[in-house]
Amino acid sequence: MKVLKFGGTSVGSLENIQKVITIIENQSKNDSICVVVSAFSGVTDQLLHAGKLAASKDARFSEIFQQLKTRHQEVATGLNVSTENSVQFQTYLAQLEDLLKGIYYINELSNRTQDRLAAFGELCSSSIITESLQQKGLAAKRKNAVELIVTKNGTARKSVNYAVTNKNIETYFHTASERITIVPGFVAALENNEITTLGRGGSDFSAAIIAAALDTSELQIWTDVSGMYTANPSLVKHAKPIKNISYQEAMELSHFGAKVLYPPTIVPVMQKNIQIAIKNTFAPEDEGTLITNTVDPNEESVKGITNIGNIALLTLEGTGLVGIPGISKRLFETISQQSINVILITQASSEHSICLGILAEEATKAQNAIDLEFENEIELGKMFPVIVEEDLSIIALVGDKMKNHQGISGKMFSKLGKNNINIRAIAQGASEKNISAVIAKKDVKKALNVLHERFFEDQRKQINLYIAGVGNVGAKLLNQIEQQKQYLKEKLNLNIRVIGITNSKKMYFNSDGIPLKKWETLLAEGEPTSIEGFQNKINTYNKRNSVFVDVTANETVANSYNTLLEKSVAVVACNKIACSAEYDKYAELKHLATQYNAPFLFETNVGAGLPIIDTLNNLIASGDQVITIKAVLSGSLNFVFNNYKEGVAFHDVVQQAKAEGYTEPDPRIDLSGVDVARKILILARESGLQLNLEDVVNTPFLTSKNLESTSVDHFFETLIEDDAHFQKLLASATKNKAQLKYVAQLVDGTLQVGLEEIPSGHPFYNLEGKDNMVLFYTKRYPEQPLIIKGAGAGADVTASGLFSDIIRLRTF
């Protein structure tokens, strides 16, 4: 014989019940089966709500009764069952109505009455399903669980009287002739024959009790998912069913929040070594999960990750705990007397404090009881009143093979720490089958995904991007990500998702990733933008491996990096303002990046897509020392002076550079030398020098009229007016057979930027187009410098530099 249990979602609608009946019919072809059914989905909650309304003299309880009556009648009609002719069903309805009216009249709802009230869900569903099977001509009979399962009188948590229960079950089933027996789950009887229940989730327990009493070959738990998962699939997108799992592992997972299985279910069948199959009512062909007594030696050490929500952490601390026998006994006796279940315990080796994890709803009751128990010690100052922390959850790694497996805890806590997930308490049993941590409730989804990525996925790292500034460069970056996403998945095990984008007017978010082929349309339909609102959204989503990408030249955006880094959000920036601000601000950002394990990458600050900062950092990290840096760091200025020829107006060349996107929207930033000054300052700082922008000697080639222009249009007008000045610069270079280049230098700790005439034979002389070049003279390269050369301006190369920094994050 087999025992099958169908939960509330499996019998939640007419369509679902028809699926259940098909499964029952197929299973009964080869075996005699006992089918344990739950109440229709949501019915138990409605019954209890109706009871509370009735007890508070609220006549609306009758509306809920009518809703329940109508729902059951409609399902029955759909199954070709006439409820009018069903004596059993009509009896239950009458009893339910009388009970609710009784509660209303006496204005009281005791625990026993509540149990009796809750039982009607299973009693009604089992009656309808039995009659439906009989209508199909199947040999089915209903047996009320109240006549089979007996619990002990006076126990706070329902304790089964197995001697009586097993005898009842064996006697009935050994004489039953029907192929199918339907039993209502959840309900039972006290030893005095009063109706009671086995607690929420008790239908699983009912099925396990029957399976163990009959020593069946298998217990099947039919639910709405295809087995026990490596994590909660509603929180972890990549969670997958576990094919095989041991009783102990299943018990740990179910105890710590895996709702597929009610924890007490495992005990009776484990004692008889009866396998449990977790199956999906809506996909019966799926393999599901098989729970047995065997452990596959080839399986992973961690079997699953689970969590319990709404936890409160109670901390009892003080010098009065140290070395005093009996403190723990008094504490746990006090908790026990309040019928409060302790989920997690941890105690410092100094004995100065004891922490308990309990359900948040029981925190106040526990706090009051403990403070009363230790009232004398608290008054004498030997202990503090109980500290209660709420809005917490427990996450746990579970696996039989975690025992004696080095590094599991290290991997777990390292991964959580890198994602700014603070751990309030840790507990691990001596069996090493469970490692638990208490964290903030808001971090649960992130924590589960982080740990699942580490222990169950093919080490494909997921990076979640929030991009500020989707103009010319930002648009190119989005296109490059879309173009390369498949390559990154296949070759680098890297999955990049863009979660949020913003420009100066709109911002748009999609928690599952923005479809990049239509980002422009989606952004146009987005909400009004603000930097504060954009960052609040990043914090609200609280995703693992979050990265803020700054593709603006906005000072407000740059000033926000510190708050992002403090939340362990990595920052990738082509905005130079932050790294060229006061040295203290730059140093603070570098410190925060280290402190919060949040990379701060800004390669594009200096050379667009060229690996200038990365090369410099590698030189210093390997023990080299920078002596001199000489560089052409402005692709914009190099483009301008390479195209400034005799017979061409300087104004026209600058206009061309602006039109082709080689300058900032305001070309004065480039031509004034401020942009180059910022770049050489950043290189100096990365070399270890503590300098500020005012330390850069900037010799301008523009006229005072150019520099004092009041707008971009006015600036171009002054270029026309002062054309003779620029012709003079060109004529001097031509006379000396030299090329005009805007050069930045770091020499003996001093910084200079300015226009120079570069003679033939110099590395800068043949620098064409918008190319940049950097010469590093170091202890290892004292005479022949290390040279980096390539395009230093343009949307494509700048976007590729940002993209390279993003890809580098996979190693952090």
Read off the pLDDT of residues 757-802 as tens digits, 9 standing for 90 and up: 999 999 999 998 889 999 999 999 999 999 999 988 889 999 999 9
pLDDT confidence band for 156 (50 / 70 / 90): very low
Q: What's the Rg (C-alpha) of the chain?
A: 36
- Give residue 541's Cα distance to chain centre: 8
Q: What is the 3-state secondary structure (H, E, C) of 354-380?
A: EEEEEEHHHHHHHHHHHHHHCHHHHHC
Tokens in use for 125? 């569903």
Looking at the whole model, is its pTM more than 0.75? Answer: no
Maximum alpha-carbon separation in the chain = 117
Read off the pLDDT of residues 681-732 as tens digits, 9 standing for 90 and up: 999 999 999 999 999 999 999 999 999 999 999 999 999 999 999 999 999 9
**What is the spatial distance between Cα 95 and Cα 99, in angstroms, rounded to a whole number?**
6
Read off the pLDDT of residues 65-109 as tens digits, 9 standing for 90 and up: 999 999 999 999 999 998 887 889 999 999 999 999 999 999 999
pLDDT at 323 over 90: no
Strand order in the sheet with 771-778: 696-699, 750-759, 738-747, 626-632, 771-778, 786-791
pLDDT at 401 over 90: no
Tell me the domain boundaries of the chain: 2-41+124-224, 304-455, 461-601, 612-793
**What is the spatial distance between Cα 262 and Cα 276, in angstroms, rounded to a whole number?**
12
Helix, strand or coil for residue 622? coil
Read off the pLDDT of residues 231-264 as tens digits, 9 standing for 90 and up: 998 899 889 999 999 998 888 888 766 667 777 8
Tokens in use for 563? 């708050």
Count CB neighbours of 150 within 10 A: 23
Which pLDDT score is estimated for 352? 76
pLDDT at 387 over 90: yes
Compute the half-sphere exposure of residue 752: CA atoms within 13 Å on the CB side of its CA.
11
Q: What is the 3-state secondary structure (H, E, C) of 626-643?
A: EEEEEEECCHHHHHHHHC
**Percentage, residues of the chain above pLDDT 70:** 97
Per CATH, which fold does 612-793 belong to? Dihydrodipicolinate Reductase; domain 2 (3.30.360)
Q: Using alpha carbons, select from 420, 54, 20 the residue that is nearest to residue 224.
A: 20
Hunting for tokens 């002990």 — which residue is that?
Answer: 152
**What is the spatial distance between Cα 181 and Cα 767, in angstroms, rounded to a whole number?**
89
**What is the spatial distance between Cα 280 and Cα 263, in angstroms, rounded to a whole number?**
19
Question: Which range is least confidently modeled, 268-277, 458-467, 616-625, 679-688?
Answer: 458-467
Read off the pLDDT of residues 612-638 as tens digits, 9 standing for 90 and up: 999 999 999 999 999 999 999 998 899
Read off the pLDDT of residues 474-517 as tens digits, 9 standing for 90 and up: 999 999 999 999 999 999 999 999 999 999 999 999 999 999 99
Which is the CATH superfamily of the domain at 2-41+124-224? Acetylglutamate kinase-like (3.40.1160.10)
Query: How many residues does the structure list for the chain?
Result: 812
Per CATH, which fold does 304-455 belong to? VC0802-like (3.30.2130)
Helix, strand or coil for residue 501? strand
Same fold, 304-455 and 612-793: no
Residue 679 annotated as catalytic: yes
Active-site residue, selected from the candidate residues 303, 576, 630, 679: 679
**What is the spatial distance between Cα 252 and Cα 256, in angstroms, rounded to a whole number?**
6
pLDDT at 540 over 60: yes
Q: Measuring CA to CA, how many Å separate 468 from each of 78, 171, 665, 806? A: 55, 72, 17, 14
Q: Which helix (H) or strand (E) holds 746?
A: strand 738-747
**What is the spatial distance between Cα 766 and Cα 760, in angstroms, rounded to a whole number?**
8
Pick the CATH number of 461-601 from 3.40.50.150, 3.40.50.720, 1.10.3720.10, 3.30.200.20: 3.40.50.720
**What is the spatial distance between Cα 234 and Cα 280, in angstroms, rounded to a whole number?**
16
